[in-house]
Amino acid sequence: SVIDVTSIVKTIDISRIVNGVYTEEDCALIGAACRSPGFFHISNHGIPKNTIERFDEMVRAFFDLPLEEKLRIRRTEDNSRGFAHDELTKRTLDLKELYDYGHTNPDKSPCVDGINQLPDLPGFHEAISEYYEECNKVSACLLRAIAKSLKLEPTAFDASFGENHTSYLRLNKYPVKPGVELWTDNRSNPDEQQEEESDSNSRKLLGVNRHFDAGALTVLRQDDKVSSLQVNVNAHNPSEGPHWVDVSPVKDALTINVGDMIQVLTNNEYKAPEHRVLASRNATRYSAPFFYNPNFEATIEPQLAGEGQKKYSKFSWLHFRLSRFAGDHKDTGYKDIQIADFRINNK
Ligand SMILES: O=C(O)CCC(=O)C(=O)O
Ligand SMILES: [Fe+2]
């Protein structure tokens, strides 16, 4: 496929990085993309083609299951893993179905955030767990490249991740909704004014409302044929209004973005990009973000800055993650927990 050289979202060859070789040049490319726009595509990531093909097939097969079967493995207040068709982002309903699958601890002890619920679908578990492990490996390598890009030891962030990481894989289906007025028209000029209103109807028209990913890194498998993911390049520039730019899929590449935990670990050197997904009127879109997350015992604080320079106070990843899930699951009436809640004043 033709790579769009004009896009602000670059495609980076990570063949050396996934082999554990972190050159200055490769790490500098990763660092520049993390700094702005916080999104990039990775090519030559080393995930076998047939792993991805089997995975893609199973994603579609899963969503094709009868609704009763999907509801049998529904997420609940006590179990964050499973199927949902009523996810809230920023207290508004998203136009999609999803399925969450998480890490199983090496000692098989129950996970703090829930247990995996599997559909009655032969081959599903094998296909998604294989893909999950591949994403985990790629993420660990990218994390080291990010550390190195900041002149840290490549392993500088490793202690917060490792065996007991709480990463999870989400499968998304954004269905076509005939008859519903969706946000595909004038997408270069959406009515931002209206979007800012807390109870605006326009919010119902999005696949996923604007948000920042809570974890460290997101590895996104996107449908090749549908482009509806967008990044707000002005999110960290409050004097400017939102400016949404497409993050179009690149064939055979995966899309990476920085999450809140990298923002904190790097003391704001690399900031999580705000993004959203438009709903599509013409084609169903499938996507699968893998959220690479710290381990459940991790306390997160900036690693780059000396005492007195740190922009965030220490917090527990687990507390952060569980609070965020409580808000996704039902409207608690409160604003979602944000890393800004841990900002140290005047820093
Ligand atoms: O579907 C996508 O392209 C991205 C979804 C997303 O941003 C999320 O689930 O956090
Ligand atoms: Fe996201």
ipTM associated with this complex: 0.99
| Predicted pLDDT at 289 | 98
Name the residue with higher pLDDT: 249 or 190: 249
The pTM of this model reads 0.90
119-174 confidence digits (pLDDT tens): 999 999 999 999 999 999 999 999 999 999 999 999 999 999 988 899 999 999 99
Return the best residue to mutate from 277, 278, 328 for the ligand 1 pocket (most ligand atoms within 8 A of CB): 277
Name the residue with higher pLDDT: 130 or 296: 130
Name the residue with higher pLDDT: 242 or 324: 242
Pocket (CB within 6 angstroms of ligand 1): 170, 172, 208, 213, 220, 222, 229, 275, 277, 287, 289
| Predicted pLDDT at 178 | 60
Q: Which residues have their alpha-adjacent CB atom under 5 A from ion ligand 2?
A: 213
| Predicted pLDDT at 347 | 64
CB 245 within 8 A of CB 294: no
Taking the CA of 212 as reference, the closest ligand is 2
| Predicted pLDDT at 324 | 81
Exposure string over 95-106, b if 16+ CB within 10 A, otherwise e: bbbbbbbbbeee
Taking the CA of 221 as reference, the closest ligand is 1
- Band of pLDDT at residue 329, cut at 50, 70 and 90: low
| Predicted pLDDT at 194 | 41
Cis status of the peptide bond prior to 302, with omega within 30 of 0: no
Give the mean pLDDT of 45-62: 98
- Whose Cα sits closest to atom 10 in ligand 1? 213
Exposure string over 236-259, b if 16+ CB within 10 A, otherwise e: eeeeeebebbbbbbbeebbbbbbb
- Whose Cα sits closest to atom 9 in ligand 1? 289
Return the best residue to mutate from 174, 206, 208 for the ligand 1 pocket (most ligand atoms within 8 A of CB): 208
Distance CA(81)–CA(103), nearest Å, equals 10
